[in-house]
Amino acid sequence: MAYLFTSESVSEGHPDKVADQISDALIDNFLAFDTESKVACETLVTTGQVVLAGEVKSTTYLDVQKIARDTINKIGYTKGEYMFDGNSCGVLSAIHEQSDDISQGVDRGTKEEQGAGDQGMMFGYASNETENFMPLALDLSHRILKVLAELRRENKDITYLRPDSKSQVTIEYSDDNVPQRIDAIVVSTQHDDFDADDVMLAKIRKDIVEILIPRVVADLPKAIQNLFNNDIKYHINPTGKFVIGGPHGDTGLTGRKIIVDTYGGKGAHGGGAFSGKDPSKVDRSAAYATRHIAKNLVAAGVASEVLVQVSYAIGVVEPMGIFIDTYGTCAFNMTDGEIAQKVTELFDMRPFAIEERLKLRAPIYSETAAYGHMGRKNEIVTKSFSQPNGESITLDVELFTWEKLDYVDKVKSAFGL
């Protein structure tokens, strides 16, 4: 029997994502001037206020208030009427030095002996139902909000948009797990108070259905375009007007959108958030590494769907174990346990090895903090950073290295494909 599956996304202006982006902007600035920085930074945003808290071990000094304000302004909170804007909000910092009890388990005589920054299990997932090996419902949810943000910044075809928004896509699948059609799309977007409530709602619905959605569909592969039809149920700002939003409408915290950040409810999640953590924290680095493994396994043809789990003990170099689930989609006669054994031989999952393989000690994290950490474009960009003393640095960094298909040939060789 056919079934429905739903995933959601939230925009860069959603309060939880504002918090994530501030935390990751701090990570990038620390790593830009001291690649060995150890950082765990949490952010809270609410009406007119930002609170920074966490632990840092670094040789560099930063103007954390300026970094927070610049991040908020870049997102689009630049007007006093939003009751939260980068130029006027208060910024309180309660950041202090990292505990010696934690660092003694991570820092070792050689970098290769570096222990895991915490215990826990991390998951990576990949599926061949999209070109970027991501679950389709989540991929579409992200795309809707990225295009909505483009329209907001263009301020041309739609001129009343504010930064906060959410999306949700429901897809009908066949018994053999193949997407059949888009069943429903939900878009809730913050907006200016530009007319009577019923007039605003009608205008917003019309613009979302007739301007936003066609622009999203136009960039999709033909097979995905065919899933859209005139029978889609649209729920546009279903509660009515959405003028009060962002941190004024709802307090935001770092790490509260971990399913949006990963696979939209497909696969599994170990529970650890990513933003605000340097790569010694395996919550982040090992989650990227398991995504890298899963994507390369699917791309190599080992299976059409793969879940990878790795687990660690704090301060211990080697992982506790690697688990593989191919959901019965393995292309040849091999058990998931046998696949896991080969994966263990192919991929070095020691924390320092992950950092080196994926180039994680670079300022690459601001770009991850909105629209998902997985399924993104691997590219090299130039970024500039400055310190309060006037020192500045410009770096070429490689983003989303865990999305590279650089192990496909090794996987094929190992599995005889």
Pick out the residues of the known binding site for L-methionine: 55, 98, 250, 281
Q: What does DSSP say about strands 233-236 and 3-10: parallel, antiparallel, or unpaired?
A: unpaired
| DSSP single-letter state for residue 333 | S
Spatial distance between the Cα atoms of 282 and 40, rounded to a whole number of angstroms: 12
Spatial distance between the Cα atoms of 81 and 79, rounded to a whole number of angstroms: 5
Q: Enumerate the known binding-site residues for K(+).
A: 42
**CA neighbor of 373 nearest in space, from 400, 355, 354:** 400
Q: Enumerate the known binding-site residues for Mg(2+).
A: 16
* The total number of residues written for the chain in this structure: 417
Spatial distance between the Cα atoms of 352 and 349, rounded to a whole number of angstroms: 8
Spatial distance between the Cα atoms of 49 and 24, rounded to a whole number of angstroms: 18
The per-residue b/e assignment along 225-263, b for 16 or more CB within 10 angstroms, e otherwise, is: eebbeeebeeebbeeebbbebbbbbeebbbbbbbebbbb
Opening angle at CA 193, ends 190 and 199, nearest 5: 95
| DSSP single-letter state for residue 376 | P
Q: Enumerate the known binding-site residues.
A: 14, 16, 42, 55, 98, 164-166, 241-242, 250, 256-257, 273, 277, 281
Beta bridge partners of 49: 46, 90
Q: Enumerate the known binding-site residues for ATP.
A: 14, 164-166, 241-242, 250, 256-257, 273, 277
Spatial distance between the Cα atoms of 260 and 275, rounded to a whole number of angstroms: 13
Spatial distance between the Cα atoms of 318 and 96, rounded to a whole number of angstroms: 29
What backbone phi and psi angles, to 5 degrees, belong to 59? -90, -5
Helix, strand or coil for residue 147? Answer: helix
Check: CB of residue 310 under 8 Å from CB of residue 350.
no
